[in-house]
Structure 1
Amino acid sequence: MISYEKAGNSVAPVFGKDCTGAPVALLGHYDTVFPRGTVAERPFMIEDGKAYGPGVLDMKGGVALIMFVAKALKEAGYADRPIRVILAGDEEVAHKHSSMAREFEERTRGCIAAFNCETGAISNRLVVGRKGVIQCQMAVKGLAVHAGREPEKGRSAILELARKIVDIHDLTDFDRGLTFNVGTVKGGVVPNA
């Protein structure tokens, strides 16, 4: 267990520590992107043999796969290579409150292979890559004036930010697999300025 004060704990057990071959790593995360209260609104359920609920696709299916693979290898007596399981508790926020990015790098060093076990899409396609994340903050300052008296003397930071948001979203190129998203926005002083 790797504990963090501001991030979900992470786990990194090794099965077959005495095996001599180069290790294989099975990677994943168990946090979700959903805000608090989502589970109450959309509780976990199984219907017609399929699981539904927050985080089932991203990535509880992959975590379950890792556990079943580790169990099956143990029951089969597999002893060629150690199996390193590394599960993060803060992947959805790009590990900003933990050292898990570094932990992944260090714990997979020397491995013959590392498999990120993200669950495939509903179409049952295999996931063969993973996007990176850059989280940024942008501050735009304007000049607040009375909106009804002398609007021409003001400079709207919100208007400028709106233009920048459109420019950022225009960088998306689906053919190249590049996507950009502005997630949260705050602005303004008072409604009439």
Structure 2
Amino acid sequence: MKEIEWVAVANNDDAFDGQFYYGVSTTLIFCRPSCHSKMPLRKHVSIFSTLRSAKDAGYRPCKRCRPEDLIYTHPNTQLVNKTLSIIELQLTSPLTLKDMAEQLFVSSTYLQKVFMKETKVSPSRYLTNVRMSKAKHLLQHTDLLVINIAQSVGYQNAAHFSTAFQRYTGDSPTKFRTKVQ
């Protein structure tokens, strides 16, 4: 094994993904250089130039980094994308950080941490941004009652929606509608 390959494995360097794979003899699993699995001892690591050579040597692909996938998506990115899908699909429902975390089978703390790291905004703030953006659009382009708009963006109570909307925009829904129409 070349020193540069070992450094890439030790540093989880994704710049080397696809250039080589490494196998761990104690587990018979092979990974991408960027895999965040437990760091193996150097003496247990073998380098393979292709997926086929790793498989032919008796290694199986890692379930964490999925070296066989042509397009690798980091687990954090996958979690954020799934969270965004939940928000989009359940926008009209009352939805909390706890609800999203339960649907994704992770803790609220972990979801908050990963989402913040990847997007620089909390899942709850992102949800509020999406809801308020849709509410502003509906107030500007429709004649729906405020209660109907509130329900269409996940608020069951018009008063709660109005308070949240005013906190977000500085105007009540009615005042906002008057300004933009």
**Range of TM-score over shorter length:** under 0.3
Decide which structure has greater strand share: 1
Larger Rg: 2
Quick one: higher RCO (CA 8 Å, sep 6+), 1 or 2? 1
Decide which structure has greater helix share: 2
TM-score normalized by the length of structure 2:
0.24
